């Protein structure tokens, strides 16, 4: 859901990735607009790339503290254009979007259970030269008895332009109540290109022949190795808030991305 923000934007906090460019931008902006600890800020301004934005969204999940990114990294689909001038005016005109993460529960070969959240995607990947063999069930019904592949991922709309897009998955509008299920280098069935699912479903992926064909599971940057079963669903009780410039909205970005050539 998007809506106009009400805060005054008097108190700004700046966080930056560990690059000279990002740190220099942080120093410049802090000098112009002041800088308070993130916990005391009306808005957190993240300076870097999409990796920093993901870290910041995770850090301030469920605080209802909006995050406004400006691109000082190599990849910046989640970031706004970097400009020094009129920052408070840009913030007051920006659009806020609530992002709900995926929650992954992964059971490893010892029977231990591991939970982690993902704003972009949950991905399963083969660990060795052997292709993975996976069985996929949605809401308790097996939809694919055996997928032989390098891996598979479940992406949110926010993550649909990341790994999912590189794996030839669909780009999802940010407000679409959907998740993308996308194979990575599917060998059998080779013609399967994935699926779009309502965001209320629960996906269970069983790893077949797990000792011979070990598989890891990752929720954004949290990886569990040697998994045998992974359960994925959207966690509607958790949310992070992200800000986009009104003249460069998420809808505009996904349209522009789909017409690249």
Three-class SS of residue 242? Answer: strand
176 annotated among ligand-binding-site residues = no
- CA 94, CA 70: separation in Å to the nearest integer? 13
The reply, when asked if residue 121 is annotated as ligand binding, is: yes
User: Cα separation of 125 and 2, whole Å?
Assistant: 34
Positions of E strands within 127-214 = 132-138, 141-149, 151-155, 178-184, 195-198, 202-208
Phi/psi at 153 (5° precision): -140, 155
Using alpha carbons only, give the angle 156, 162, 164 rounded to the nearest 5 degrees.
Answer: 65
Annotated binding-site residue? 220: no
The reply to whether 17 sits in an annotated binding site is no
Tell me if 158 is assigned to a ligand binding site.
yes
**132 annotated to a ligand binding site:** no
Q: Is 194 annotated among the ligand-binding residues?
A: no
Q: Is the bond into 146 cis (omega within 30 degrees of 0)?
A: no
Give the integer Cα–Cα distance in Å for 17 and 208. 40
Residue 33 assigned ligand-binding role: no
Determine the Cα–Cα distance for residues 224 and 220; give it in Å rounded to an integer: 11
Helix (H, G, I), strand (E, B) or coil at 59: helix
Q: State both tokens at 239.
A: 């949310």
Q: Is 50 a catalytic residue?
A: yes
51 among annotated binding-site residues: yes
Contact partners, residue 55, CB within 8 Å, separation at least 6: none
Q: Which of 35, 50, 64, 247 is catalytic?
A: 50
Catalytic residues, by residue number, are: 50
Binding residues: 50-51, 120-121, 150, 158, 161-166, 222
Binding residues for NAD(+): 50-51, 120-121, 150, 158, 161-166, 222
């Amino acid at each position: 859901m998007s809506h106009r923000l009400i805060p005054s934007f008097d108190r700004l906090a700046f966080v930056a990735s560990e690059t000279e460019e990002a740190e220099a931008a942080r120093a410049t902006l802090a000098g112009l607009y002041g800088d308070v600890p993130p916990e005391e800020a009306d808005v957190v301004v993240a300076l870097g790339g999409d990796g920093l934005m993901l870290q910041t969204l995770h850090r301030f999940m469920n605080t209802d503290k909006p995050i406004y990114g400006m691109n000082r990294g190599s990849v910046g689909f989640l970031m706004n254009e970097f400009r020094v001038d009129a920052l408070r005016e840009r913030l007051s005109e920006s659009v806020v979007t609530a992002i709900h993460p995926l929650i992954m529960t992964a059971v490893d070969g010892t029977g231990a259970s591991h939970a982690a959240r993902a704003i972009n995607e949950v991905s399963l990947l083969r660990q060795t030269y052997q292709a993975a063999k996976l069985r996929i069930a949605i809401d308790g019904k097996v939809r694919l008895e055996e997928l032989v592949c390098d891996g598979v991922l479940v992406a949110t709309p926010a993550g649909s332009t990341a790994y999912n897009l590189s794996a030839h998955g669909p780009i999802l509008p940010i407000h679409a109540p959907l998740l993308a299920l996308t194979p990575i280098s599917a060998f059998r069935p080779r013609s399967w290109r994935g699926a779009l699912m309502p965001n209320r479903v629960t996906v269970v992926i069983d790893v077949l022949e797990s000792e011979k064909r070990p598989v890891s599971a990752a929720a954004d940057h949290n990886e569990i190795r040697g998994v045998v079963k992974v359960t994925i669903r959207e966690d509607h009780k958790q949310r992070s808030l992200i800000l986009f410039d009104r003249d460069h909205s998420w809808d505009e970005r996904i349209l522009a991305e789909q017409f690249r050539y």
